[in-house]
Structure formats: structure tokens, C-alpha cells
């Protein structure tokens, strides 16, 4: 097994990955709360998780990933008082809450597909785990970690000596920032709801009978602990919770915004229920900004799949390429200009590979070439094992593309190997380009090149004349951020 190093939020250090039961690596990924459109922040976050999964597979490990879909219980502002995000979205859109979650879950998985992100081995909705969540809360109750107040069952954080260890903040500072609402019934400011009661006079669409009340629903944090224990350790069978079956999970992923509250509370309730360490490695990705600012609807920079498509980006590989150019632990700044440049770079990569494939097998490989292949492979492996350093990995790929000593089959084989990790669908796009080019006569290709040159020189009159020539010859031409694309008219 290759020595993969990862930054562990829990220890604050880069550490060698040591799975509990190699070659299997058990992973829990916090999935989306499906109350609104999939946006650029989701796209970047899950591209990063996919990259981790691909690297593990690349080195012969067997990642087994569970991802949740939060379709109930997530209160606005990540608090315990207020409106449920799903219920509020249903009210605003005048739809059924179940319809809301179906619609936005479908959109999320469309994004997954378009970005070539591998689907988790288990994808589970919170609403499919209500009985198991109740069993877990009852276990915490039996162990003395809970108390009941007017609006629900709460976890007593004072019972946990190392509460907040994931955030590396003093307990007092963590408590000050843990909640923005005031609930005078809580024993401690950071105590959090495990199970909520529907307030009197409030009509919820999603609620269940429980041992504590007839109209109730789960807290946000209990969902992830339950699904992690159910699907990664088989802790729930025959209507019972079996804490002794729990085995420490290797990796837990999520955004940095989840550290001080959600992930902190996952740790507290899981370790309280099992008496065992919850997760060995916590991997968190940084935020995505848009035009240097936080993405928000009020700023008009909240971009979704439909926004990308309206701008002509139906193929999202250039976006994936853009994300890979920033390390997952650094903020990335999205701009349309940056995406345009990423598209151009991606199209240039495809064009270069097409040339490599065209001359594949026409050159004999030299001893120098074979040495370079080994060198580049080693450099690529060093990058991806060094806390998923994808910008450096891309730099190695660009060196390979430019190296004339290894042009041909070995060069293409190496790039295909790299793409097992990059996930940029290089082969599919190159094959498509070559397929289209076979249908385009040389005279049309020359007209296209002349037109691109005139566009670069801003000679719009000549550009329009060449477009007319191309179209009269029976071909359609479409200008994209990555260059002009020509197809025979149907």
C-alpha cells in the first residue's frame, strides 16, 4: 500500500493513512441538505471527495463510501430553534416537502454525473432511518447523556470531557459561537437537540410518532451518526442497537463549516453511545468564493447547474479541471473568466492528446523516453500522496503533454493512468473529437482555423464571411469558451 498522507483536522497534522482493516477504507461523507438547487460550492466539495476516492482506488485500496441525504431536521442557521430548511422551502415554493426533497435530490445526482463524480456505495436518506435514530437516542438516554425540555430531547455536552476537540478551540470560545439562538431551558449553551417535538399550533409535513411524543422529528446531527453506524458497522439489526459492533471509521469528509457544530456533535453523541473513537481521519475542504466574495443569492453570485448551462457549459469537465487547480484545503475563487480560461486549457489538452494519438505507434521509444515515463509517474504519485496535491499533479500532466521525448503510445498510456485520478474523461473527449474530425473535410477545418484567427484579431467582418462559407458547405459552427466546434448539419 502506498504511503498516502492526509491532513487530519482532528490532530491538526498531516499523517500517513493507516486504515483499520486494509485494504478496505471505510468512509462517511456528509451529503447535501436537499432543500434548494445544487450550486458551485456543492460541485467543488464533492469533486474533492471524489478525488480522494479515486486516489485510494488508484493505489489498490478498497474504499467503501456511505453518503447521507439530509431530507429532514436541518434547521435554518444550523441551530435547534427555528424553521426546518425542507419545510420552509416547501412553504415558499408551495410544494409538498417530499416533492421538494425528490426534486433537489435528483438535481444533486445530475450534478454528480455531469462532473464524473463516482456515486457512493451507499446513499441513504435520513427519512429512511427514523427507527434507527430513535434507537440511538434511547441508548444515549439509557447511558445518562440526555435530558428532556419543552421542545425536545437534548444532549448534555457537560458529560463529555473533550467536547469540541475537533475544532481545537477553547471550550468557552466554542460555546460562545456554537449557537445564535437563546433557549433558556438548555443546561449548557452548546447542548444540542437529538430529537425535536413539533410545537403546538405548528403543522409539519414531516413528523413521526416516537417514545417521547406523537408528533416529533429528528435533530440534524443524530442522522449522520446513525447512518454511519448502520451502514459501516451494522449496528442496527432486528429492531435493536448494538453499540459493541461499532468499529472506528477510517475517514469522514465534509466542509470546514461543519467542524464547530455538526461534526463536533457527531463525535460527542457517537462516542457517548459506543465508548469508542468515532473517526480516525477527518478531511475537510475549504470554501468556494465567487468573485472574491461569499456566494449568496443576495449578491447575485449564487450559481447553479442551470446557470452553467445557460453560459454554454453543458460539459462540466472544464469546471472539474478548474477545481483541481486549487488545493482542497485552500479557498478557491470562481469567476466566469477563470472558467473560460479553464475551458480553453482543457480543450488544448484534448487537442494535444489527439495529436499524440494520431502518431501513436509511429515512433520507437528510446531509453531516455522510458526513464522519463518512470520519472513522471513517480512525480505524479508524489503529488497525489502528499495530501491530495492536485495542482502539482496537473503540473506533471502538462509536462508530459509537452515532452517530445516520449511522444506516442507510452505518453498516451501514462496520461490515461493519470486520468484514473483526475477524472477528466480524457479518452472519451479525445475519441469524440477524432470521431467528429473524421467527418470534417480538410478544407472545412482550414476555414475554421482561419475564422478563429480572424476572431482573435477582432476582424469580425471576415469572421462572419467565413461562418457563412462554412454553413453553406453543410456544417454548423458553434463558438464556445474553449474554441469553435464544427459538426455536419443533420
Query: How far is 249 from 472, CA to CA, in rounded Å?
Result: 62
How many angstroms separate the CA atoms of 231 and 28, rounded?
9
**Region of poorest pLDDT, from 200-204, 308-312, 480-484:** 480-484
Residue 200: pLDDT over 80: yes
Distance separating alpha carbons of residues 304 and 233, to the nearest angstrom = 36
What integer pLDDT is reported at residue 363 of this predicted model?
A: 59
Cell of 461: 467582418
> Is the model's pLDDT at 58 over the cut of 60?
yes
Judge residue 435's burial from the number of C-beta atoms within 10 Å of its C-beta, 0-12 exposed, 13-18 middle, 19 or more buried: exposed
pLDDT value, residue 368: 81
Confidence category of residue 176, pLDDT binned at 50, 70, 90: very low
Residue 53 scores a pLDDT above 90 = yes
What is the band of 261 on the pLDDT scale with cuts at 50, 70, 90? Answer: very high
Handedness of CA 425, 429, 434, 435 (dihedral sign): positive
Strand runs (DSSP E) across 127-197, as ranges? 146-149, 152-155, 192-197
The pLDDT score that the predictor gives to residue 181 is: 60
Please give the pLDDT value at position 121. Answer: 98
Q: Which residues contact 212 (CB under 8 A, 6 or more apart)?
A: 148, 152, 153, 195, 197
Residue 393 grid cell: 499533479
The arrangement of secondary structure in 5-285, i.e. its CATH architecture, is: 3-Layer(aba) Sandwich (3.40)
Architecture of domain 293-434: Orthogonal Bundle (1.10)
Cell representation of residue 247: 468499529
Query: What DSSP assignment string belongs to 14-26?
Result: EEE---SBTTEEE
Q: What nine digits make up the cell of 477? A: 459552427
Please give the Cα distance from 298 to 178 (Å, whole number): 25
Distance CA 466, CA 445 (A): 11
Question: Which pLDDT value is given to residue 391?
Answer: 98
193 pLDDT above the threshold of 70:
yes
Strand 332-334 vs strand 288-290: parallel, antiparallel, or unpaired?
A: parallel
Across residues 102-112, what is the average pLDDT? Answer: 97
Lowest mean pLDDT among 16-25, 381-390, 411-420, 464-473: 464-473
The whole-angstrom separation of Cα 35 and Cα 85 is 6
Q: Residue for cell digits 446557470? A: 307
Give φ, ψ of 29 to 5 degrees. Answer: -120, 125
Q: Answer yes or no: is pLDDT of 482 > 80.
A: no
Amino acid at each position: 500500500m502506498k504511503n498516502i498522507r492526509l491532513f487530519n483536522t482532528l490532530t491538526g497534522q498531516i499523517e500517513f493513512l493507516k486504515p483499520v482493516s486494509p485494504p478496505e477504507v471505510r468512509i462517511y461523507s456528509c451529503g447535501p441538505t436537499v432543500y434548494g438547487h445544487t450550486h458551485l460550492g456543492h460541485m467543488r466539495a464533492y469533486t474533492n471527495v471524489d478525488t480522494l476516492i479515486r486516489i485510494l482506488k488508484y493505489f489498490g485500496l478498497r474504499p467503501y463510501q456511505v453518503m447521507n441525504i439530509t431530507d429532514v431536521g436541518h434547521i435554518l442557521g444550523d441551530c435547534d430553534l427555528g424553521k426546518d430548511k425542507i419545510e420552509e422551502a416547501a412553504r415558499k415554493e408551495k410544494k409538498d416537502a417530499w416533492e421538494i426533497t425528490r426534486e433537489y435530490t435528483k438535481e444533486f445526482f445530475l450534478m454528480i454525473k455531469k462532473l464524473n463524480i463516482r456515486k457512493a456505495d451507499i446513499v441513504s436518506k435520513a427519512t429512511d432511518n427514523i427507527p434507527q435514530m430513535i434507537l440511538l437516542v434511547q441508548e444515549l438516554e439509557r447511558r445518562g447523556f440526555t435530558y428532556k425540555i419543552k421542545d425536545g430531547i437534548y444532549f448534555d455536552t457537560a458529560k463529555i470531557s473533550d467536547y469540541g476537540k475537533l475544532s481545537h478551540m477553547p471550550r468557552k470560545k466554542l460555546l460562545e459561537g456554537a449557537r445564535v439562538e437563546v433557549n433558556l431551558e438548555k443546561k449548557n449553551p452548546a447542548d444540542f437537540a437529538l430529537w425535536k417535538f413539533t410545537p403546538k399550533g405548528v403543522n409539519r409535513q414531516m413528523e413521526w410518532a416516537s417514545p417521547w411524543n406523537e408528533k416529533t422529528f429528528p435533530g440534524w446531527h443524530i442522522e449522520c451518526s446513525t447512518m454511519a453506524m448502520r451502514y459501516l458497522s451494522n449496528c442496527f439489526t432486528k429492531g435493536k442497537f448494538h453499540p459493541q459492533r461499532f468499529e472506528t471509521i477510517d475517514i469522514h469528509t465534509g466542509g470546514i463549516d461543519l467542524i464547530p457544530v455538526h461534526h463536533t456533535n457527531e463525535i460527542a453523541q457517537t462516542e457517548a453511545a459506543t465508548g469508542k473513537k468515532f473517526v480516525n481521519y477527518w478531511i475537510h475542504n475549504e470554501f468556494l468564493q465567487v468573485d472574491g466574495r461569499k456566494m449568496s443569492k443576495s449578491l447575485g453570485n449564487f450559481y447553479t447547474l442551470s446557470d452553467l448551462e445557460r453560459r454554454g457549459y453543458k460539459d462540466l469537465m472544464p469546471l472539474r479541471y478548474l477545481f483541481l487547480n486549487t488545493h482542497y484545503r485552500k479557498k478557491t475563487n470562481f469567476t466566469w473568466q477563470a472558467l473560460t480560461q479553464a475551458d480553453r486549457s482543457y480543450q488544448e489538452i484534448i487537442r494535444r492528446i489527439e495529436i499524440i494519438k494520431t502518431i501513436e505507434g509511429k515512433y520507437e521509444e528510446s531509453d531516455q523516453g522510458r526513464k522519463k515515463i518512470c520519472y513522471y509517474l513517480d512525480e505524479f504519485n508524489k503529488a497525489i500522496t502528499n495530501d491530495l496535491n492536485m495542482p502539482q499533479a496537473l503540473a506533471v500532466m502538462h509536462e508530459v503533454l509537452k515532452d517530445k521525448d516520449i511522444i506516442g503510445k507510452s505518453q498516451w498510456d501514462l496520461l490515461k493512468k493519470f486520468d484514473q485520478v483526475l477524472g477528466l474523461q480524457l479518452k472519451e473527449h479525445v475519441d469524440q473529437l477524432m470521431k467528429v474530425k473524421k467527418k470534417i473535410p480538410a478544407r472545412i477545418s482550414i476555414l475554421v482555423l482561419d475564422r478563429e484567427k480572424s476572431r482573435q484579431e477582432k476582424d469580425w467582418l471576415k469572421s462572419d464571411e467565413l461562418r457563412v462559407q462554412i454553413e453553406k458547405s453543410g456544417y454548423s459552427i458553434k463558438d464556445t469558451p474553449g474554441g469553435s466546434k464544427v459538426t455536419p448539419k443533420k
